[in-house]
Amino acid sequence: MHALRYPLAFALALLCACSRAPEPVVEPKLPGAEAVDPRVPSITVSGDESGAAAWNWQPPALQLAAEDVGQAKRDAARALTEGRLYAAAVDAIPIYLALDAIAPDDAAVKRGLERARTALLRQGDIALRDAEDSADALSRAGEVAAVARTLAPQDPKVIAYLDRVDGADQRWRLNAVGELALRSGQIGAEGGIPLSAFREVLELQPAQARALQGLAATESAMIRRAEAAAEVSDFSAAARWLALAGTARQDAPAVEDAAARVATIRSATIARLRQRGTADLVSLRGLRASREDLGEVLRIAEPGDPVAAAFREQVDLATHYGKFRPGQAFTDALANGGRGPELMVVPHGGFRMGAADDEPGASDAEKPSHYVRFDRGFAMSRQAVTVGDYRRFVQATNYRPRATRRGHSIVYDERSGNFARRSGVDWQSDYAGAPAADNMPVIHVSVRDAEAYAEWLATQTGQGYRLPSEAEQEYALRAGTRARYPWGNEGTPPPQFGNLTGGADASPSGRPWNNAFVGYGDGHWGPAPVASYPPNPWGLYDLGSNISEWVSDCWHASYRRAPGDGASWFNPGCRSRVVRGGSWASSPEQARAAWRAASDSDMTNARVGFRVVRGI
Looking at the predicted structure, is the pLDDT value of residue 315 above 90?
no
Beta carbons of 103 and 95 less than 8 angstroms apart: no
Least confident of 55-64, 167-176, 362-371, 400-409: 55-64
CB atoms within 10 A of CB 392: 20
For 278-334, the DSSP string reads: HHHHTSSSHHHHHHHHHHHHHHHSPTT-HHHHHHHHHHHTGGGPPP--TT-EE--B-
Average pLDDT over residues 38-60: 46
* 61 vs 449, more confident: 449
Q: Clarify whether residues 511 and 570 are in a common domain.
A: yes
Q: Is residue 181 predicted with pLDDT exceeding 90?
A: no
Note whether 270 and 179 are same-domain residues: no
Percent of the chain topping pLDDT 70:
89
Helix (H) or strand (E) holding 136: helix 135-151
Residues 158 and 300 in one domain: no
509 φ/ψ angles, rounded to the nearest 5 degrees = -95, 5
Residues 172 and 284 reside in one and the same domain? no
Residues 456, 547, single domain; the answer is yes
313 and 362 co-located in one domain: no
What torsion, rounded to 10 degrees, do the Cα atoms 570, 573, 575, 578 define? 10
What is the DSSP-derived secondary structure letter of residue 343? E
Q: What is the mean pLDDT of residues 568-577?
A: 93
- Provide the pLDDT confidence category of residue 291 given band limits of 50, 70 and 90: confident
pTM of the full structure: 0.52
Is residue 9 scored above 50 in pLDDT? no
Residue 44 has a pLDDT of 29
Instruction: Flag whether 583 is in a domain.
Output: yes
Name the pLDDT band for 289 (thresholds 50, 70, 90). confident
pLDDT at 195: 81
Q: 63 falls in which pLDDT band (50, 70, 90)?
A: confident
Is 551 part of a structural domain of the chain? yes
Whether 139 contacts 13, CB under 8 Å = no
**Residue 141: inside a domain, yes or no?**
yes
Q: Which residues contact 562 (CB under 8 A, 6 or more apart)?
A: 353, 370, 471, 556, 569
What confidence score (pLDDT) does residue 60 get? 87
Question: Does 421 fall in a domain?
Answer: no
pLDDT at 232 (0 to 100): 92
Domain end position, chosen among 156, 183, 210: 183
Assigned domain for 572 exists: yes
Same domain, 362 and 295: no
Out of 168, 183, 198, a domain closes at: 183
Residues 528 and 491 both lie in one domain: yes
Count of domains for the chain: 3
Decide if 221 contacts 193 (C-beta within 8 A): no
Which residues on neighbouring strands pair with residue 282, listed in sequence order? none
pLDDT average, residue stretch 155-172:
91
Alpha-carbon separation of residue 161 from 11, 143, 167, 168 (angstroms): 19, 12, 10, 11
Q: What is the pLDDT of residue 35?
A: 37
Of 183, 202, 226, the one marking the end of a domain is 183
Three-class secondary structure of residue 68 per DSSP: helix
Same domain for 135 and 270, yes or no, is: no
Q: Which DSSP symbol is given to 21?
A: P
The angle, 0 to 180 degrees and rounded to 10, between the axes of the packed helices 107-129 and 156-183 is 30
80 within some domain:
yes
Phi and psi at 12, nearest 5°, equal: -75, -5
Q: Using one digit for the tens of pLDDT, what is the confidence trace for 441-483?
A: 999 999 999 999 999 999 999 999 999 999 999 999 999 999 9
Strands 596-600 and 408-413: unpaired
Return the pLDDT at 194: 82
Identity of the highest mean pLDDT range in 38-47, 121-130, 178-187, 542-551: 542-551
Are residues 455 and 562 in contact, defined by beta-carbon separation less than 8 angstroms?
A: no
In a domain, 327, yes or no: no
| CB-based contact 297:266 (threshold 8 Å) | no
3-state secondary structure 457-521: HHHHHCCCEECCCHHHHHHHHHCCCCCCECCECCCCCCCCCCCCCECCCCCCCCCCCCCCECCCC
Question: Does residue 170 sit in the same domain as residue 283?
Answer: no
pLDDT reading at 14 higher than 70: no
For 189-233, how does the pLDDT look when each residue is reduced to its tens digit (9 = 90+)? Answer: 666 788 888 888 888 889 888 888 888 888 888 899 999 999 999
Query: Which of 254-268, 273-287, 377-391, 542-556 shows the lowest per-residue confidence on average (mean pLDDT)?
Result: 273-287
Closest by CA to 591, choosing from 525, 537, 526, 546, is: 546
Tens digit of each residue's pLDDT (9 = 90 or more) over 246-286:
888 877 788 999 999 999 999 999 998 888 888 887 665 67
Work out the mean pLDDT of the chain and round it to a whole number. Answer: 87
Question: With bands split at pLDDT 50, 70 and 90, how would you rate the model's confidence at 19?
Answer: very low
Same domain, 81 and 32: yes
The band of 359, judged by pLDDT with boundaries at 50, 70 and 90, is very high
Helix (H, G, I), strand (E, B) or coil at 209: helix
- What's the CATH code of the domain at 571? 3.90.1580.10
Average pLDDT value for residue range 479-501: 96
Q: Answer yes or no: do 287 and 375 share one domain.
A: no
Q: Is 467 within 8 Å of 581 (Cβ atoms)?
A: no
Query: Domain containing 290: what range?
Result: 265-320
Domain membership of residue 171 (yes or no) is yes
Summarised one tens digit per residue, pLDDT across range 71-109 is 989 998 999 999 999 989 999 999 999 898 888 999 999
